[in-house]
Structure 1
Amino acid sequence: MADFPADSQREDEKDAEEHRAELTSVSSGADLLSRESLDPVLNAKIHLINDAIDEIGFTPYHAKLFCLNGFGYATDSLLLLVQSIIASQAALEFKPSFHNGLTIAAYVGMLVGALFWGTTADIIGRRTAFNYSLLISSIFAIVAGASPNWVVLGLFVCLSAFGSGGNLVLDTAVFLEYLPSKKQWLLTLMAMWWGLGQLIAGLFAWAFLPNFSCPEAGPCTRANNQGWRYVWYANGALVFVMSILRVTVVRLKETPKFLVTEGRDEAVVDVLTGIATKYNRPCSLTLARLTACGVTGEATGRVHNVHARTRISFAEILIHLKGLFETRRVGISTSLIWFSWLLIGLAYPLYNVFLPTYLKTRGTDFGDGSQFTTWRNYAIVNACGIFGPVLAGYMCASKYFWGRRGTMVIGALITMVFFFCYTQVRTAAQNLGFTCAISFCLNIYYATLYAYTPEVLPSAHRGTGNGIAIGLNRVMGIMSAVIATYANTSTPVPIYICAALYIVMAIVAAVFPFEPYGSRSS
């Protein structure tokens, strides 16, 4: 009996020796960034983690994450749209001097949120932001409905957006880092929740604004203009419910790829074997196999080189920024991704800003213009946007569309065509039809870019890189609001410039150095 522990120990040591050889086989191309890593130990451990995740496969746990992380997508789009939906009615009541203030407040909040939650995700982990970001958003969204004036409303819009601004950063990272490689296309499909959030915002607007809003020509007070407040209350309450579901349906543990960058090999094994045991799946990963690889950072002369000595410091942030340019190819990839987010962040908001005024100068008939028709059409358009990511998910999983890069090229070019054609709209039916088509096609590109970004970023610096990418998008949103205030919106030139930007996006997508199709995220 006493010999059994010794025998077990010898077996573990033998197992460990066998897997030391895996250090030399990691650069097989199975992991997307395997040839770009300067730390072979970390590379080997991520390789083993990917093997274990693939061995476990897709489980009900992943299905729950798809929905719960999708809540973050929905909240981001929902709260961003709510401020634009209610802005005109709130302005009638408060009579502000700067009508685009809410848009700037929302984008500032989302900018700071993306940078804050993205950076902290690499410093303290993904789990904290996952658990608390939606709760913060919901509280301030509900309070926004009780705002006594324009400035206070802008403040609560900003704070609510701060909470939701990190969701697009964290939701993709958390889901990706648990996802089997053959199901990575689900990351693109998850963007359908973005369209669902827009639809919900439109439905609440359709329900409350036509019936509880003051007329533009008459007196407008809080008593006869409760509709926009009801929209905030309803959306905030929904987000609050989603935030509660996040911490009750799944007790999220820290992601294995974050834990391995921390040097917490035992926790990595506990997380993955826990999922495997719960759903009766195989998992051959052991602590001996991970520790046999060595200590992270040994090859570079620094133990745990993905962190600074002091976590909450500029040095820590600098390490994550440098990690996004670890090699020439990774640096080019990061730069092109950020450039793409800048382009889409400028093109789409500006198009929405300039198009309505331009079409009116061309004699376009938008229909009866009633609030009922306006918000009905708004709901229809947003419903169409749900299905763009569905098609994008199918395209990303098929070799016939050249993977993620090909899907983005196709999505950008088709959107560009519809944008140019839209300038010829003359009737209400044409307006609705082309708007639906653009909503559908644009989300093919957008959904794929959302998924592609975390897929090609190094796991240790994924939150920082993703946060900066989405932050740049928010900067362009702020600029669009400023341009809309002071520029001439009746000229067609900005519209053609915005449409042409989609050609640039397609070119950039075509030259991205990495293609995730057929590979595993590192």
Structure 2
Amino acid sequence: MAYKGEKGVSTSQDNDFDRHHDGRRKSSIANVFHGDDDSAIEGQLFSMNAIDPALDAKMRLVNQAINQIGWTNFHLKLFCLNGFGYMADSLILVVQSVIAGQAAAEFQPSFANGLTFASYAGMLVGALFWGGSADIIGRKIAFNTSLFVSAIFAIVAAGSPNWIVLGLFVSLAAFGAGGNLVLDTTVFLEYLPKDKQWLVTSLAAWWGLAPLFPAAFAWPLFSDPRFACDTELPQQCTKANNMGWRYVWIGCGGLILVMSIARITVIRLKETPKFLLGEGKDEAVVANLQSIAQRYNRRCDLTLEHLQACGTISSTHKKGLGEAWFHIRGLFVTKKLALSTCLIWFSWTLIGLAYPLFYVFLPQYLASRGANTGAGSPSAVWRDYFISNTCGIFGPILAGFMATTRLGRRYTMVIGALVTCAFFFAYTAVRTHAANLGFTCAIYFTVNVYYGTLYAYTPEVLPSAHRATGNGIAIACNRVMGLVSAAVATSANTATSAPIYICAVLYIVMAIVAAIMPFEPYGKSSM
């Protein structure tokens, strides 16, 4: 089937960059991709032709160039460096929960859940700030600075003189880390060839790896009475005999600092080609992709003439708050995209409530039923914590494999949610330490199959020009529900089993939502 190009040149859908090099560079080859619906466009997740034909055509040429370059060591470095951001996000949340008991014993606060509120509040603002700014000023600045902010305040938190100051620094460290789930998936995805997009799912393995570091620091420190006072005797707890939690902050903050330095030294990240494309900087797009191709001796036939032949993009926007609103509206430009955006945000809201709420209520519920799940010594407690979190690393790895099969992203999420639900119901029958450890490992594994896939699916199905904004709002929905779970934990009656069953039902709803999502990225390039 042939389509008429912008300059009246009839071209075939089989045209590639070789033909451009044979003397037809000035023809509007990009317009061969124009179609009226998604089904008419092979290999693309959706079409933006009805909204902005020039941008749609250019985006397809950029995808073709990225696929032509293929996988390189540059992408491998990005996988690790973006994984560091995932680790930082998880690390801050885990560290505050790990040290909360020891810090509370020293400071004796009136509001014991204050650090939970502080961390989720910081994560909420961070997701919105870094996500929004990444669509307005670019991915590069946010990518290079966010981890520095988190590292500085994480280290400073170790010197906190009281509970309120500690909460402030925890919140600021969370603010710096809170946008990385947005930035990391966005930056990584916008450089990936189509056949490697499943790696965005496996990127979440770094998130599961993060809790091992606080556990590794806390295990010897909190097992040694020289560094951790007895929380059952808070009146004897002072800074002198309770330095362990401060060392945990220093160690984890130092780790984030090293990761932030690696981000600006291992590679010199340029703006992603798809962000530059949305800004109308065609020349920079070509230079970016050509530099990667030359560095790794790969072929890239994209030229400035190819992009310019597609015309000028019609998407224009204002600066400041007007631009923020422009990016939000861009997530609802078609009915199908609007439905997809709403279902994604709803999914993040559900998991944001179900995941922390279950772990808030479960220990009290088991205790009220007489379950004997104690691990004994502090060393055994941290050993079990280390084991269970190790199991969580492999969930996203399995999810990445499942996402490359005909199950796709959607049904990988369905399976992960339903299996997690089954383990949650079964967990209420736990009565021994061994059973507690076994089911905890299983849940850490299966919930990360769902979570890891949702992390990847979200940026894959959002249009690149508004990807960081939509992803940031999704993560913010998650953080809001984290605050809700902390509030519920403060005031709710934990004697009833209702919260556990509610959480299990929420996972069933998540499975249903995943099944009806309108886009399936399997085998298609993101726009």
Taking structure 2 as the reference length, the TM-score comes to: 0.93
The counterpart of 1:40, out of the listed 38, 53, 62, is: 53
Change (3 A) 1:365 1:47: same
Matches of 1:515 and 1:441, distance apart in 2: 21
Q: Please state if 1:483 is matched with 2:493.
A: no
Runs of 4+ in 1 over 6 A off after TM superposition: 10-13
In the alignment, does 2:75 pair up with 1:65?
no
Structure 1 counterpart of 2:362:
355
Question: Who is 1:4 aligned against?
Answer: none
Match of 1:381 among 379, 388, 412: 388
> How far is the alpha carbon of 1:65 from its aligned partner?
0.1
Query: Which residue is equivalent to 2:373?
Result: 366
1:370 deviation in Å? 2.5
- Asked whether the equivalents of residues 110 and 166 of structure 1 are also in contact (C-alpha less than 8 Å), the reply is yes
The aligned residue for residue 5 of structure 1 is none
In the other structure, the counterpart of 2:118 is: 105
Note closer, same or farther for the CA distance 1:368–1:121 as it changes in structure 2 (3 Å cut): closer
Tell me if 1:147 matches 2:153.
no
Distance 1:179 1:116 in 2: 25
Paired residue secondary structure (2:27): helix
| 1:446 counterpart (445, 451, 464) | 451
Q: Secondary structure at the match of 1:413?
A: helix
SS of the aligned residue for 1:158 comes to helix
Report the Cα offset of residue 143 of structure 1.
0.3
Q: Structure 2 CA distance, aligned partners of 1:183 and 1:164?
A: 26
Counterpart in the other structure of 1:6: none
Q: Secondary structure at the match of 2:211?
A: helix
3-state SS, counterpart of residue 275 of structure 1: helix
Q: Deviations over 1:396-433 (max 9, x none)?
A: 0111xx20001000000000000000000000000000
* Cα displacement (A) at 1:217: 3.5
| Structure 1 residue aligned with 2:324 | 317
Superimposed CA distance per residue, residues 60-95 of structure 1 (whole angstroms, 9 cap, x where no aligned partner): 000000000000001111111100110011000000
What letter matches 1:216 in structure 2?
A: T
Within the candidate set 474, 495, 501, 1:496 is matched to 501
Cα–Cα, structure 1 residues 21 and 321, in superposed 2: closer, same or farther, change >3 Å?
A: closer
Instruction: Tell whether the 8 Å contact from 2:460 to 2:521 is kept in structure 1 after alignment.
Output: yes
Residues 481-508 of structure 1 deviation map (CA, whole Å, 9 limit, x = unaligned): 1110010112101110011100000000
Alignment of 1:57-456 (within 5 A): 57-211=70-224, 212-218=227-233, 219-297=236-314, 304-305=315-316, 307-308=317-318, 311-312=319-320, 314-399=321-406, 402-456=407-461
Task: State the distance in 2 between where 1:21 and 1:512 align.
Answer: 29
CA contact (8 A) 2:49 2:56 kept: no
Change (3 A) 1:91 1:363: same
TM-aligned CA distance change 1:54 to 1:490, over 3 Å:
same
**2 CA distance for matches of 1:493 and 1:514?**
34
Residue 11 (structure 1) shift: 7.8
Distance in 1 separating the partners of 2:374 and 2:468: 45
Q: Deviations over 1:313-334 (max 9, x none)?
A: x211111111000100000000
Compute the displacement of 1:375 (Å).
1.2
Matched letter for residue 148 of structure 2: L
Could you tell me whether the CA contact under 8 Å between 2:127 and 2:182 is conserved in 1? yes
What SS does the corresponding residue of 2:271 show, helix, strand or coil?
coil
Q: Which residue of 1 aligns with 2:65?
A: 52
User: What are the Cα deviations for residues 327-378 of structure 1, in whole angstroms up to 9, with x where unaligned?
Assistant: 0000000000000000000001110011000001111112344221111111
In 1, distance between residues paired with 2:30 and 2:350? 45
Q: Matches of 1:429 and 1:354 in 2, distance apart?
A: 20
CA distance in 2, matches of 1:371, 1:240: 29
1:413-465 deviations in Å (ceiling 9; x for gaps): 00000000000000000000000000000000000000000000010000000
2:355 is paired with a residue of what secondary structure? helix
2: distance between equivalents of 1:316 and 1:354?
A: 42
Call closer, same or farther: CA 1:216–1:25 in 2, change over 3 Å: closer
Q: What amino acid does structure 1 have at the position aligned with 2:255? A: L
* Offset of residue 25 of structure 1: 5.9
Number of residue pairs matched by the alignment: 501
Is this contact kept in 1: 2:34–2:49, CA < 8 A?
no
Taking the aligned partners of 2:359 and 2:49, their CA distance within structure 1 comes to 40
CA 1:325/1:25 → structure 2, altered by over 3 Å: closer, same or farther?
A: closer
SS at match of 1:145: helix
Q: In the alignment, which residue of structure 1 is the partner of 2:5?
A: none
d(CA) in 1 for partners of 2:147, 2:83 = 12
Q: Distance in 1 between matches of 2:102 and 2:24?
A: 72
For structure 1, the 5+ residue unaligned runs are 1-9, 298-303
Q: Hey, what does 2:8 align to over in structure 1?
A: none
Match of 2:519 among 507, 514, 518: 514
| Contact 2:101/2:231, CA 8 A, preserved across alignment | no
Instruction: Provide the secondary structure at the position in 2 that maps to 1:105.
Output: helix
| TM-score after normalising by structure 1 | 0.94
Residue equivalent to 1:3: none
Instruction: Decide whether the 8 Å contact of 2:33 with 2:60 is kept in 1.
Output: no
Whether the 8 Å CA contact 1:107–1:158 is kept in 2: the answer is yes
Distance in structure 1 (CA, Å) of the matches to 2:67 and 2:161: 53
CA distance in structure 1 between the partners assigned to 2:34 and 2:249 by the alignment: 56
For structure 2, which runs of at least 5 residues remain unmatched after alignment?
1-19
